[in-house]
Amino acid sequence: MKIENNGIHPLNTPRPTSASPASRASHAVPRPEQDEAQIHEDARLLAKARQQLNQQPEAQAARLEALQKQIESGDYTIALGDLARKLAAQYYSG
């Protein structure tokens, strides 16, 4: 296949004239002396929570697994008095 340049092809467009150094300088983006990065407080808290979660003993994981099995089988029961006290304590403490 042969491609002929017949003068209407977009590659045949004239190049723009170069801008003067003064006009190029006016469009220059100022660059800071040094880049900065900030970590949001929420990200710090999340990292701390992940670190603490990874340090939990295996007994905690075993307890959670046992609770999950009880819930799935329908054998888990909730002491309503204890639940009410805990909910009231959370509601009135904060």
Could you tell me the two tokens for 50? 């992940």
Instruction: From residue 5, give the alpha-carbon distance in Å to each of 1, 14, 78.
Output: 13, 14, 83
Match 């990065």 to its residue by tokens.
Answer: 37
C-alpha 86/C-alpha 14 separation (Å) is 78
C-alpha 46/C-alpha 53 separation (Å) is 10
Confidence of residue 93 (pLDDT cuts 50, 70, 90): confident
pLDDT digits (tens, 9 = 90+) for 29-88: 666 677 777 778 888 888 888 888 777 777 788 888 999 999 999 998 888 999 999 999
Q: What is the pLDDT of residue 14?
A: 59
pLDDT of 23 > 60? The answer is no
Match 């509601």 to its residue by tokens.
Answer: 91
